[in-house]
Amino acid sequence: MHKPQTFRETLTSGPAIVMMIALVRLGLHLWTNTFGGYGYFRDELYYLACADHLDLGYVDHPPLSIFVLAMVRSVFGDSAFAVRLVPALAGAATVVLTGRIAATFGGGRMAQSLAAIGAGFSPVLVAFSGIYSMNSLDVLFWTAAVLLAVGLVQAKDPRMFLPLGIVVGLGALNKIGVLWLAAGIVAGLLFSPYRSLLWTKHALRGAAVAVVLFAPFVVWNVLHNYAHLEFIRNATNGKYSDLTPLRFLADQLLLHNPFALPLWGAGLAGLFFARPLARFRFLGTAFLFVTALLVINGHSKAEYLAAGFPLLFAAGGVCMEAWTAGWFRRFVVPAYGIVLAATAAALVPLAIPVLPVHTFVTYAHAFGIAPGTSEKKELGALPQFYADMFGWPEKAAAVAAVYNRLTPEEKARCAIFSDNYGRSAAIDLFGRHYGLPRAIGSHNSYWVWGPRSYTGEVVIVLGGARKEKEKVFASVELAGTASSPWSMPYENDVPVYLCRGLRVPLAEAWGTLKHFE
């Protein structure tokens, strides 16, 4: 008869340790979102604007994350804490699923603990869960899909394709990158002894469910002249054109903590060579398949592969547990886990804003870390990820100062325009305090939303060169400036123009203003 676990045994079991690590990760985010943070990130403002325009799709992303945000907003409001609650929970859930993958691989307490530490404190995964975006949900969907694929092969039950199809379909409706994983899993199964699972009606049903769930975004793109494909093409040839395959591969070492290399490196090798993972070799093939796709693309951001690393952390934990014995397993492997957690803690300020901004700059300099960006942008004192959390309220205040100079008749006809979705979205959120009308813009989905009923008779333009405005308006006045020294340089000292007399009706000119990138 199996002896029941004592309370101490339960508390120190693998699942319990994984849960504690997940709660630490959740607590880290909740504390930061309550007491730390630098302000809304540029994309968070844009997502809030998208939530005011619920649709089947958007120029730069599918709709699921926006519908989730709209539901959260309706219940909890749109404070930074409320907006960031879902990504915090998604990050913690990813840790739990990673530990579960390690357990399903056959890993014990040590394997599950190492897997949870790797997924729980990878700097890029922590950063993903620090703001609202598609990314935290994307990592969760990838990890859930991997767990279901493991269960599919372990049970040799093709009925598992149905829940796998649901996860892939919803994941694609959140971010299309999960389709790379789906293609990788299919490729991995084709080159494995389990390929017969693909030739079943259950596999077809799972694929059909995924297609149906993803279909709304496809329909939206058909109705909008394949706007998302245009966006991807422009971004690849524009702001991401400096990215190279070599940089993509090299940055994998930095994104997940250099000290995590032995863990995920062991996981990648183990998926091909470790006996305990022999049945799951198809997942190693899937990971390499996705990596090859991103490398062949030539301009992929390193973070695009981040969602695949919980699989490697889980496999790495199993390998470290299986490949060690005696004093090495008893002392060295736990010591490595402690080192991994300690170094991850040291890197946390580089992933989420737990430090005051002046302290962060000093901290980063002490590590010899210079500000960075994946886009072709000039940098200031902060990396772009943090710099894009500054300057948005100041822009709304500067625009309001100009707007309030207008007569009531002019206010009724005045449009507020920008060619940058962050600036337009800042007006939409922070402008409510000043009674500003919603902004219009030419960037991504703002262009799709159109000029509404504005004619161009009176327009406040946030940003850009005066000479360009003088070409299209009869009168252009530099009426203010929005300053924020911690912002990206191009977001500091942004001019505010009061323009009158657009030479061409705004509705007629709108088609020439489109800016998808």
Find residue 440's DSSP bridge partners.
417
Q: What is the DSSP letter of 323?
A: S
Could you give the CA distance from residue 446 to residue 424 in angstroms, rounded to a whole number? 8
How many residues would you count in the chain?
517
- Cα 453 to the center of its chain, rounded Å: 34
The label of the residue with tokens 């000290």 reads 259
Percentage of the residues of the chain whose pLDDT score is greater than 90: 84
**What is residue 10's predicted lDDT score, i.e. its pLDDT?**
72
Q: What is the mean pLDDT of residues 184-189?
A: 97
Please check the confidence at residue 1 and state whether its pLDDT lies above 60.
no
Least confidently predicted of 94-103, 294-303, 384-393, 415-424: 294-303
Structure tokens at 458: 């009176």
**What is residue 115's predicted lDDT score, i.e. its pLDDT?**
97
State pLDDT tens for residues 194-223.
999 999 999 999 999 999 999 999 999 999
475 residue type, one letter:
S
Q: What is the largest CA-CA distance in the chain?
A: 90
Q: What is the mean pLDDT of residues 451-479?
A: 96
**What is residue 326's predicted lDDT score, i.e. its pLDDT?**
82
State pLDDT tens for residues 265-315.
999 999 999 999 999 999 999 999 999 999 998 888 889 999 999 999 999
Please check the confidence at residue 375 and state whether its pLDDT lies above 60.
no
Q: What is the mean pLDDT of residues 55-81?
A: 97
Contact status, residue 439 vs residue 53, Cβ threshold 8 Å: no
Contact status, residue 34 vs residue 354, Cβ threshold 8 Å: no
Region of 83 on the Ramachandran plot (φ > 0 left; ψ -120 to 50 alpha; else beta) = alpha
Q: pLDDT tier at 133 (50, 70, 90 boundaries)?
A: very high
**What is residue 160's predicted lDDT score, i.e. its pLDDT?**
96
Higher pLDDT, 396 or 379: 396
The label of the residue with tokens 């899937």 reads 286
Least confidently predicted of 18-32, 124-138, 320-334: 320-334
What are all long-range contacts of 347-351, with beta carbons under 8 Å and residues at least 24 apart? 347/121, 347/123, 347/257, 348/28, 348/121, 348/123, 348/126, 350/123, 351/123, 351/124, 351/126, 351/127, 351/130
Domain boundaries, the chain: 7-350, 357-387, 392-512
pTM: 0.94
Contact status, residue 427 vs residue 462, Cβ threshold 8 Å: yes
Contact status, residue 66 vs residue 54, Cβ threshold 8 Å: yes
Find residue 496's DSSP bridge partners.
462, 480
In the chain, what is the straight-line distance between the N-terminal and C-terminal CA atoms, in Å?
Answer: 64
- Which residues, in sequence order, are CB contacts of 286 under 8 Å at separation 6+? 149, 181, 184, 185, 187, 188
Q: pLDDT tier at 37 (50, 70, 90 boundaries)?
A: confident
Q: What is the mean pLDDT of residues 405-415?
A: 96
Contact status, residue 116 vs residue 98, Cβ threshold 8 Å: yes
Could you give the CA distance from residue 317 to residue 359 in angstroms, rounded to a whole number? 35
Q: What is the mean pLDDT of residues 335-359?
A: 93
* SS3 assignment for 169-237: HHHHHHCCCHHHHHHHHHHHHHCCCCHHHHHCHHHHHHHHHHHHHHHHHHHHHHHCCCHHHHHHHHHHH
**Hey, is 401 helix, strand or coil?**
helix
Could you give the CA distance from residue 219 to residue 207 in angstroms, rounded to a whole number? 18
**Hey, is 515 helix, strand or coil?**
strand
Percentage of the residues of the chain whose pLDDT score is greater than 70: 96
Region of 244 on the Ramachandran plot (φ > 0 left; ψ -120 to 50 alpha; else beta) = beta
Q: What is the mean pLDDT of residues 456-485?
A: 96
State pLDDT tens for residues 219-273.
999 999 999 999 999 988 866 667 788 888 888 988 999 999 999 999 999 999 9
**Hey, is 500 helix, strand or coil?**
strand
